[in-house]
Amino acid sequence: MMNDPMFLEWLRLLVLFLSGLCVLGLVATLANWLVSPREIPHHHPERRSTDMPLKYDNELCNQFIRDMKKADLPTFHYRGRWFYQGPAVDVDHLQEAMSHTKVPTQWDNLGLGFVVYPQASGKLLTEETDDANA
């Protein structure tokens, strides 16, 4: 049976099929890794707490910050996926943040909870920018 040409052809096709599945799995894993959001460590300068007040050029971002402050959820400047920049909060459950604001939000799940942030992106205004616009 091992020398039967039909069996050998079937075995060759099976090995090719399984090899293809492995390659597709690796490609899918790599593609998912490339497009998935990266968590910014808490000590990173892009992830500052609102010990320094954050202010944005988008009023929805500023409203989100006010709402989160009322809920005692610390906000930070977040650079998320799809070029998002703006305020965000870290929570274990989505409703911890979403129930405290009417601002439309979105979230990233980073494996250890959620980063919740407004759908509207905003440019962080620094003191220099504020002085220049005054």
- Whole-number Å distance between alpha carbons of 34 and 37: 8
Sign of torsion, CA 118 122 126 127? negative
pLDDT in tens, 51-96: 567 888 889 999 999 999 999 999 888 887 777 888 999 898 889 9
4-47, pLDDT tens digit by residue?
888 888 888 888 888 887 777 777 776 665 555 555 444 444 44
- In 3D space, the residue among 48, 59, 66, 47 whose CA is nearest the CA of residue 110 turns out to be 47
Tokens for 83, please give them: 């070029």
Residue 84, token pair as written in the block:
């998002």
pTM for the whole structure? 0.57
